[in-house]
Structure formats: C-alpha cells, structure tokens
Amino acid sequence: MLECIPMMPVKALIASQVRHLNLHEYQSKQLMAKHNVNVQRFVIAESIEQAENAAKGLKADEIVIKAQIHAGGRGKGEFSSGLKSGVHLTRDPAKVPELVKQMLGYKLKTKQTSEDGVIVNKVMIAEALDISKETYFAILMDRDSGGPVMVGSPDGGIDIEQVAATHPDHIFKSIVDIETGPTEKQTLDMAMKLGFQGKAVAEASDQMQNLYQLFLDVDATQVEINPFGLTPQNKVVCFDAKISFDDNAIFKHPELRAMRDTTEENPREVDAENCGLNYVGMDGNIGCLVNGAGLALATMDIIKLHGASPANFLDVGGGVTTKQVGQAFKILTDDKNVKTILVNIFGGIASCLTIAEGMVTALTEGPKIKVPIVVRLQGNQVEEGKECLRRSGLNITVRDDLDEAAILSAQLAAA
C-alpha cells in the first residue's frame, strides 16, 4: 500500500471483533464494594420517586447526582432538556428530584458521545465526600512485563497521559509476580510513593491488595482508580474506576455478562453479534460485505485508495450460511449513510455460490434494497455463483477485478 494512503486501523478493528464489556460507574463500584474496596455510599435511581427516596435515605451532608452513561466528560456535558452538566452537587435533598427530572429520559451530550448524545436511564445518588488528596493507581496486564503491573502516581484527578507527558518522573511502576500477587512490601512502598502518610499508608496498601484480588477474580486486564483519594477524615476511598475485562474469559462470568447495557451500543453491532457476524460501524458511505478479516481490511484500504470511505467492517466468516448473508444485508441497509454496497468474496469453505444464494434470497424475499450493489467473486464455485446472480435478474453489477469493483463502488456512492 502506498504511504500516502490513509490505511484503516488494523489493530483496533481486529480487536473490535470481540465485543468488549463496558460497565457503568455504579456497576464498577458494586464490584469493588464486594471486594472490600472503599467506595462512596450510593443508590441507583431509575425514576424521580426513587431518586427522592434515595436522597432522603442516604442522610448525607452533601449529595452528588451523576448521570450513568458509558461516555466520559459527563461533568462538562449538556442535556437535551437544557440542563448543564451530568454531575451535580447539593446539600439539600429536596433539590434532587428537580435535578433528576431534567436528567432521566433526556440525552446527555459529552465530548465522548455522538452529536445526538446518549439517553440517560439511570442516575447514581451518592454521598459526596471531600477529597484532601488525589492520587492515581492502576493494575493492568503488561505485555512487556509478561504479566500484571501496578502503576501509580501522586498526581491524581487528571488524565494519566497528561502526567506522563509533563512529569514522567511522577509515574511509578511495580511488576507483580502473577504466581504470588503483590507482596505487602510492594503495596506499602507504592502507597508511600503516592504520598500517603501515617496510618493512611497501611490502609492504602490494604486497598491495593483488595483491588488486586478484584483484578484476579473478574479476569480483568485493567483496574484503574482515578482518583485513588484520601478524605479529610484520613480514609482512603476509590472515587472513580474503570475496569476492562479479558473477553476471552468472560464466559466464566455470567454475572458480568448480565451487567452489559446494549442500549448504549451501536444497534447494528449488537444485531450482528447476535447473528454471529463481525461488524464495526464507521462513518463512510460504502457498505462492505466480505468473508475473512484480512480480506475485509484490504477491501477497506482499497476503497480509501480510490478516494471513498467504507461505512463498516463486516466479516461474515468462513462458515457463513445463506441466512447469515441475508442478515448481513439487512444490517448494512439499516445504515442510512450507505449509498453503495461492495461485496468482495474469496470462496473457500463458504463458497461463492453460498454467498450468491444468500444475496438472491435477501434481495428477493427481504425488504427492497434501493442502493446499487457491486459484487466481486473469486475462488470456490465462482462460476456457479456468478450464474446464480445472472439468473436472478437482480440489478447487481459483477466485476472480476477488485480494483474495478472498488472504483465503480466509489463512483456510484458519489453519484
């Protein structure tokens, strides 16, 4: 590929074929609380009445109300109701229902959401705690170390990337023996490097040990606490958490799968997963239907080469069925940005004839597809597949050369 051509992010796309589990803040805190990690007292509310009862029941000096969505930047977000910020503080429990009324059922737009924002279905009503010291602490799987490492910094409450760029000497790393876990000496040393003093050193060390146990128990790849803080009462508290999981081990944790909130995911990606297809939505206007991840990536690159943009990554796999091909077409055409569909198949286990039959079934029995379809078939049963398409009488353009198919798709999408 020419250097001047913007290639697709290969690593990111291949990784995206595994559906990564995202948790809401309250779900992460529930997991931490079960592992004796100190978190704020909180209640989840899905209605104004529940929020009112929660605010009264907490009996806290100050209350924080936080919209629960997967995106970050909530504090600087804006609701479609006109309310500014997805995080609010109040000392008056009577004000909680009015704030929640402007959150639930409305879309919250932040720097990490789409332009439309995300509908808020839950809010967390929590005890607000003062923070006298903010630090950063994380446990993660590190490829270079071949196992888990603890990472800490006395500069918490801000992005760790910013600390790494401005004060790399403020970041401390400690490699953990995966057979024994972190020793008491390691966590005590980390606590002191983060600036904890007196009795707080031992408590911070204990919290780190508990967080490592959580890391193991849920097969996490990362547990990040920011801020890992200290209250004026000298209590160590994990104020916010990001937990990432090893998706290859998620089958062992049905309780974690039950926490998945698909309402915040791309519905086409959810549908594709349910159909056994690998789909990742993008911003282009040429829908791609390809068998094989490598061929799918190459197809996306050649579309970019000819000045157009793919609307998706879609790998139907090597054992695709006629039914799945029909489902794939439905997913592609549900994307209103798609102006042309490019089908690129190298027949192997899934022959060109199987793909062709699935296309004919989908296009004759399903909803009418109004966008042009360009097909390139090569490999097992290629002639039979082409004949199947010809006999169908459908408005499908067949090209033997991938370059020609990509150029035509780009022209049709721009028309």
Binding residues for substrate: 291
CA dist 365 and 250 (Å) reads: 37
| Three-class secondary structure of residue 292 per DSSP | coil
Which position among 136, 212, 279, 357 bears the catalytic label?
A: 136
Binding-site residues from annotation: 66, 73-75, 134, 226, 240, 291
The closest of 370, 364, 371, 288 to 326, measured between CA atoms, is 364
Query: Do the Cβ atoms of 311 and 303 come closer than 8 Å?
Result: no
| Residue 224 known to be catalytic | yes
Binding site residues for Mg(2+), as ranges? 226, 240
Catalytic site includes residue 26: no
The DSSP 8-state label assigned to residue 17 in this structure reads T
Angle subtended by helix axes 352-365 and 322-333, to nearest 10: 50
Residue 64 tokens, joined = 């924080």
Q: List strands edge to edge, sheet with 373-379.
A: 278-281, 312-315, 286-290, 340-347, 373-379, 396-398
User: What's the rounded Cα separation, in Å, for the pair 109 and 284?
Assistant: 22
- For the four alpha carbons of 28, 34, 37 and 39, in that order, the dihedral sign comes to positive
- Angle, helix 322-333 to helix 267-274, in steps of 10 degrees: 180
Annotated binding-site ranges for ATP: 66, 73-75, 134
Tokens standing for 104? 């639930």
The size of the chain, in residues, is 415
Catalytic residue among 25, 203, 224, 357: 224
Closest listed residue to residue 343, CA positions, set 359, 365, 354, 320: 359
Q: Are 250 and 236 in contact (CB under 8 A)?
A: no
Instruction: State the Cα–Cα distance between residues 12 and 1, nearest whole angstrom.
Output: 19
Which whole-number Å values give the CA distances from 147 to 35, 181, 220, 241, 247, in the listed order?
22, 10, 12, 21, 17
Q: What single string gives the DSSP state of each residue in 115-140?
A: TT-EE---EEEEE----SEEEEEEEE
Residues marked as catalytic? 136, 224
